[in-house]
Amino acid sequence: MHEVAVIIPCFNEELTIAKVVHDARRALPEARIYVFDNNSTDRTADEARTAGAEVIHSPRQGKGHVVRHAFRVVDADVIVMVDGDDTYPMDEAPKLVSLVLAENYDMVVGTRLSHFSAEAFRKFHLFGNRFLSRTVSSFFGQEVSDMLSGFRAFSRAFVEQVPLHSGGFEIETDLTLQAISKNYSICETPIAYRHRPEGSFSKLKTFDDGFLILKFIFRLVRDYKPLQFFSVLATLCVCLGLIAGWAPVRDFVLHAYVYTVPRAILAAALMLLGTVLFGVGLILDSQNRHFAEQFTGMQKLSERARRERERAEKSANGRRAA
């Protein structure tokens, strides 16, 4: 029997949290439901506890910190993550869990962009989500349609092994990019997304959090795709160098003398900088491949240890039954 857990990061969701817990219990009756209260100032924790969830106080502010906390303390074969704002349909949760268990996906994402109500997305959110998703798809070579979805299911291996760094609303971006860069198997499945109930308000700040997500993507592309990142910078430097060097070359061809010496120096510096940047990208890309091989080896050892643990548990259960 596989253990399933539902984690619900919450901050001031007293109007909706009880319904989310009840829906989770109805959809996954055997699952343990955890509400991680992130310093709520309303009755979120009381409502969750009354609804039957285990409430765990997560003191470090920010959704990313809460998810990392949840991954540390919750032990299950499959972990379902959902927001506490009642915008995601919990009746879709069994489908996400079955994809992890039956199809061996490490992360299943409930994508919202096929079926959503007219009021579900705030102004610019839909455009921003699609822009960010396409940016990630182009840089990392894997199609991502809804990078910011908060409704996901994870395998035990993913939860135990993936290194997360974000502290705020960029946590979904972190989860997606870590899964892609570490070669975890990812699946997207469409869900119906609805708007928040009346009186419930989103904590997401459109431009501030959008900028944080963009900055986070920038850092991860630099760290995990260094050859592409530095190649773009190198190409830019080389193009600028060619533009700056056109006049000195023309002078030399026509007059056998360079009259625009400052532009010649600028062109040489830009060409040299482009060469250095490309070399840095090559070195870092080689190191990344080496680290990826090490991480793959650690994954295999972890999977072997998990299988041995399961065999030991089955053997112990058989002896007790006898």
Regarding whether 219 and 86 lie in a shared domain, the answer is yes
Rounded Cα gap, residues 287 and 211, in angstroms: 29
| Whether residue 50 sits in one domain with residue 191 | yes
How many Cβ atoms sit within 10 Å of the Cβ of residue 136?
21
307 and 159 housed in the same domain: no
Residues 112 and 124 in one domain: yes
- 197 & 157 share domain: yes
Q: For 185-224, how does the pLDDT look when each residue is reduced to its tens digit (9 = 90+)? A: 999 999 988 776 665 555 566 566 567 777 777 877 788 7
Q: What is the pLDDT of residues 291-303, one digit of tens each?
A: 767 766 666 676 6
What range defines the domain where residue 269 resides? Answer: 226-321
What letter does residue 145 receive in the DSSP assignment? S
Identify the H or E element spanning 294: helix 261-321
**Structure-block tokens of residue 192:** 């119906």
Same domain, 210 and 143: yes
Instruction: Please indicate, yes or no, whether residues 131 and 212 belong to a single structural domain of this protein.
Output: yes
H-type alpha helices, 118-260: 125-140, 156-161, 171-181, 206-224, 226-255
Angle, CA of 170, 133 and 101, to the nearest 5°: 80
Residues 210 and 261 in one domain: no
Q: What is the pLDDT of residue 206?
A: 56
Pairing of strands 78-81, 152-155: antiparallel
Environment class of 199 (CB within 10 Å of its CB; exposed 0-12, middle 13-18, buried 19+): exposed
Q: Which of 224, 249, 284 is the C-terminal boundary of a domain?
A: 224
Same domain, 206 and 250: no
Q: What is the token pair recorded at 171? A: 């946590």
The mean pLDDT value for 71-98 works out to 93
Q: What mean pLDDT is predicted for residues 116-134?
A: 66
The amino acid present at 82, given as its one-letter code, is V
Instruction: Indicate the DSSP class of residue 256.
Output: S
Tokens of 286: 């080689």
pTM over 0.75: no
Q: What is the structure's pLDDT at 299?
A: 64
Chain mean position to CA 71 = 14
- 22 plus 123 within the same structural domain: yes
> What tokens were used for 241?
């160098």
CATH (domain of 44) = 3.90.550.10
pLDDT of res. 59: 93
**Domain's final residue, options 176, 207, 224:** 224
100 in the same domain as 123: yes
Distance (Å, rounded) from C-alpha 282 to C-alpha 236?
17
Same-domain status, 209 and 254 = no
In the three-class reduction of DSSP (H, G, I as helix; E, B as strand; rest coil), residue 4 is classed as strand
The count of C-alpha atoms lying within 13 angstroms of the C-alpha of 146, restricted to the half-sphere facing its C-beta, is 22
Domain count along the chain: 2
Choosing from 224, 253, 269, the residue where a domain stops is: 224
